A and B are shown apart, each in its own frame.
Chain A
Amino acid sequence: MKKVQFKSNYSQYFFLAPQLLILLIFLYWPIIQTFKDAFTMQDAFGFGSQFAGFDNFLFIFSDPSYFTAFKFTIIYSFVITFITGSIGLLLAVQANKVMHGKSTYKTLLIWPYAIAPAVVGVMANYFFSERYGLLHHLFNNLWGFNWYENVFDAYIYVIIAGSWKQISANFIFFLAGLQAIQKTVIEASIIDCKSNIRRFWTITFPLLMPTTFFLIIINITYAFFDTFGIIDTTTIGAPGSETKTLVYKAYIDGFKGLDLGSAGAQSIMMMIIVLVITIFQFRYIEGKIHYN
């Protein structure tokens, strides 16, 4: 890593040992167990199990509810990424411009970032409850809102609940990205281009590309994994399985349904998805986008 390094026979292992030990016991052991589960079939009573090859994988691919979860997860991450990214960017650009009250805006816009997804879900629950819910009443008056029967309405529910806090994260990173752009670049661009809007799309936005791509990954990961707490406190996957994310479905099948084989296979499918996203991130983003 470094050109100058310490030469030692054992010190490095002393420094590496604590983390490696924790990772081996609490991460690798469960992962190996996951792979074992994915390739074994347990009988219904949990008495015996046998090697099953790819049967568990074939089973989830033939299961329509897996594709429902897949479809929902893709839509969910796309919509959340788009909504939170664009609102976050819009607010960050404004907050970067104003002279007065900048830090007040910043503080008040940042703090929902710290709230746990599960807490956000519980809050959303109140706003969408038939009895107290303001948003429920509003949407109900507009088009007859009924999230536990209508898929579209359930989507609106979990999308609003899922997006809200993530706006803050996007705002923080976009604002920091904007502030990192050098003043001289902005000043020079003001001389060349009078139109504010055109200047933003031709100069500022391209300079923000690294931040944007970073946030796309962050938002996708958020929609995949962190929204568990939101789904579990809002729709619980209703109507039917329409709003189950892949992670939520794996949890329900494994923990509630006790189908370890299927849950293991689902986990491995998700690892592959994460792997693909990560490779994409390293290859495409870290490789191609350099403006500094």
Chain B
Amino acid sequence: MTKYISSTINHFILSIGLLIMVVPIWIIFASSTHSSLFINTNGLQFFLGDNFIDNYSRVLFKQSGFFNEITALKMFLNSFVMATGIATLSVITSLMAAYGLVYFKVKYATFIFWLIFITLLVPLELRIMPSYIVMSKLNLVNTFAGLILPISASAIATFFFRQFYKSIPDELLEAAKLDGTNSWSFFIDFLIPLSKTMIAAVFIFMFVFGYNQYLWPLIMTTSEQYWTVVMGLKTMYGSISDRFAFVIMSMIPPVIIIIFLQKLFIQGIFQNK
């Protein structure tokens, strides 16, 4: 009997938690399926309306922005290119750098170690203005390289991979060395297959991180051609239901990724803790 009561309490508390996390999004979603006229007279809605297809297709394909040069679809494409670029570049460079740090005798190893890891103390937000100046000196404003490179300049992934490599038993390398494996093929044939889960987890993490960037694209893109979804939210003008629809669409890619790959993601994080 007490067991029954306590499990009811558990479910009750969890349901309140669910309400807090889900209802706000549901309300925005339900409101996004009504016409703007209806929202403007009746406020936010809890029940679905019948303008779903109208609103969403209008937002996806309509030209918007100050100069009407971009559609939401193009913004999604931009965000996708940016996020994939950031994830790919940081996975590759970090994987390699961590390998160099852990498996080699490096001259000035401590110095290089600090050179890499001290950067964790300086998030992009702290160097935003000088970064912009550097990018404009390099002529990278309004380019994908400009959107991608400074955000890939992060040692977080290197830190994860380094921890992971350190947890791999030394015997693996000893055995490989006995077989005459060189450093390059040890990296490609042994370490990368072993780190698959980690690579996937870091990739997901960096993808969502890149997709969710707001301030950097806001500063780096004066041309509407390079607008991304998350920054476009603030700059996009449209009727209220268009904006609701855009908010809902903007969260779909990262949310889908996290829901479907949550196991992988959590596993990856906890190999490191």
A residues engaging B (CB < 8 A)?
1-8, 11-16, 18-20, 22-23, 25-27, 29-31, 33-34, 37, 87, 90-91, 94-95, 97-99, 101, 105-119, 122-123, 126-127, 131-134, 164, 167-168, 171-172, 176, 180, 196, 210-211, 214, 225, 228-229, 232-233, 247, 250-251, 254-255, 260, 263-264, 267, 270-271, 274-275, 278
B55 close to chain A: CB less than 8 A: no
In the assembled complex, the CB of A25 is this many whole angstroms from the nearest CB of chain B, namely 8
In the assembled complex, the CB of B161 is this many whole angstroms from the nearest CB of chain A, namely 11
B102 close to chain A: CB less than 8 A: yes
Q: Is the CB of B92 within 8 A of A132?
A: no
CB nearest neighbor in A for B126: A267
Prevailing SS type, chain B contact patch:
helix
Report chain B residues within 8 Å CB of A264.
129-130
Q: Is the CB of A4 within 8 A of B122?
A: no
Q: Is the CB of B10 within 8 A of A98?
A: yes
Chain B, interface residues (CB within 8 Å), range: 35 or more
Query: Could you say which of A111, A116, A225, A274 contacts B258, with CB atoms under 8 Å apart?
Result: A111
Question: Chain B 162-204, CB within 8 Å of chain A: the 1/0 string?
Answer: 0000100010011001000001101100000000000000000
In the assembled complex, the CB of A265 is this many whole angstroms from the nearest CB of chain B, namely 12
Q: Is the CB of A254 within 8 A of B115?
A: no
Q: A122-B233, A122-B247, A263-B129 are in contact. Are A5 and B17 (CB under 8 A)?
A: no
The 7 residue pairs across chains A and B that have the minimum distance between CB atoms: A15-B100, A116-B212, A33-B130, A12-B104, A19-B97, A114-B254, A118-B214
Question: Chain B 127-161, CB within 8 Å of chain A: the 1/0 string?
Answer: 11111111000100000000001101101001000
Q: A20-B115, A123-B24 are in contact. Are A90 and B258 (CB under 8 A)?
A: no
B238 close to chain A: CB less than 8 A: no
Report chain B residues within 8 Å CB of A263.
129
Q: Is the CB of B99 within 8 A of A4?
A: no
Q: Is the CB of A22 within 8 A of B121?
A: no
Q: A132-B43, A180-B270, A251-B125 are in contact. Are A110 and B262 (CB under 8 A)?
A: yes
Q: Is the CB of A98 within 8 A of B212?
A: no
Report chain B residues within 8 Å CB of A13.
100, 106
Q: Is the CB of A26 within 8 A of B134?
A: yes
Q: For residues 79 through 106 of chain B, which have their beta carbon under 8 Å from a beta carbon of chain A?
A: 89, 92-94, 96-97, 99-106
Q: Is the CB of B128 within 8 A of A251?
A: yes
* Interface-centre pick from A6, A29, A168, A270 (highest chain B CB count, 10 A): A6
Query: Could you say which of B40, B112, B247 contacts A20, with CB atoms under 8 Å apart?
Result: B112
Q: Is the CB of A114 within 8 A of B255?
A: yes
In the assembled complex, the CB of A289 is this many whole angstroms from the nearest CB of chain B, namely 12
